[in-house]
Amino acid sequence: MLAIDLTGKRALVAGVADDAGFGFAIAKALAEAGASICLGSWPPALNIFETLLERGKLDASLTLSRGGKLAFERIYPLDAAFDTLEDAPAELRESKRYRERGDFSIRGMADRLRQDFGDQGLDIVVHSLANGPEVKRALLDTSRKGYLEAVSVSAYSNLALVRELAPLMRAGGAFLSLTYLASERVIPGYGGGMSSAKAALESDTRTLAWDAGRRFGVRVNTISAGPLASRAASAIGLIERMVQYVKANAPLPRDFEAMDVGHAAAFLVSPLAAGITGTVVYVDNGFHSMGMAVQGPGTVGGAESGST
């Protein structure tokens, strides 16, 4: 039987601080396929995440289908806005949530991975993080600072992860990130330069696939995911409407789940996808292919009944 087998592989999933988002679903799917999992978590969210783990509040989500519980090999502090610790302002470094964490920069995490697992200790890297401080503002009203922050944290950070971690990858290594349709179609409400950041992320996926493919032999892909009411997406404000709209108008009127992305991710980073790189893969019940809304379930094309 053809199966996704990640036994003996180590993954680093950057952007997990609860069990509600894509990063967690991907981590779980990779673990189901046999990989060991390290996380990179944002210091402001890390305390709460560690407490939830310690108190067993995430045990149900962590339970694996083969029995037992997903245990993270390491959880590294990571603020993807900074390439080196020196790049972080002193005020932030000294602040409550950061000062006890050591080097939380991207290079700092790479150094720790090297210390913990040697020069070639990594097979899979997932970038599942984004932040746009002005996401609720229309692009037209976005400040230069807000725009650059969105692009820095949500797109440049992926490039920096590839640069710092590709040298640690074993043969067959794979990078994966998460993008959104707003990069190529207008999604009113997804503002603050986040649409620009996703466009950059997708373009970089192609160019990084070339650069890092030729230099390190690794693959670089991105998944364009449908809307999910994660913690980050709930901050945008209209996520429930987006979820309903996609369900009413996508070719597949089924509920879209984080694990749909988890499973697709497990395939994309596995040896089964050895020939796939530089690609945007849509995991959204097919919504991206639509050119016309049905304006509510059932009115055109029978979205509810499935009739044509």
Ligand X SMILES: NC(=O)c1ccc[n+]([C@@H]2O[C@H](COP(=O)([O-])OP(=O)(O)OC[C@H]3O[C@@H](n4cnc5c(N)ncnc54)[C@H](O)[C@@H]3O)[C@@H](O)[C@H]2O)c1
Q: Which chain residues interact with ligand X by CB under 6 A? A: 15-17, 20-23, 42, 45, 78-81, 128-131, 153, 178-180, 225, 227-228, 230-233
Q: Give the integer Cα–Cα distance in Å for 53 and 43.
A: 15
Closer CB to ligand X, 114 or 288, in the complex: 288
Taking the complex as a whole, the smallest distance from the CB of residue 291 to ligand X amounts, in Å, to 20
Identify which of residues 152 and 270 has a Cβ nearer to ligand X in the complex: 152
Q: How far is the CB of 268 from ligand X (least distance, A)?
A: 14
Write out the H or E segment, with its range, that includes residue 177: strand 169-179
The residue annotated as part of the active site, out of 147, 190, 245, 282, is 190
Which is nearer to ligand X, 86 or 119 (by Cβ)?
86
Question: Of all residues in this chain, which one has the CB nearest to ligand X in the complex?
Answer: 21
CA-based end-to-end distance of the chain: 36
Task: Kindly name the residue from 98, 147, 156, 180 that is annotated as catalytic.
Answer: 180
In the residue annotation, 190 being an active-site residue is answered as yes
Asked if 304 and 281 touch (Cβ cutoff 8 Å), the reply is: no
180 is catalytic: yes
Residue 96 CB, nearest approach to ligand X (Å): 16
As measured in angstroms, the least distance from the Cβ of 233 to ligand X is 3
Helix (H) and strand (E) counts in the chain: 11, 7
Helix H or strand E segment including 291? none
**Residue (215 or 231) nearer to ligand X, CB:** 231
Question: Cβ–Cβ contacts within 10 Å for residue 207, how many?
Answer: 12
Name residue 308's amino acid: T
Helix (H, G, I), strand (E, B) or coil at 205: helix
Residue whose token pair is 């993080």: 129
How many other β-carbons are positioned within 10 Å of the β-carbon of residue 45? 15
Active centre residues (catalytic): 180, 190
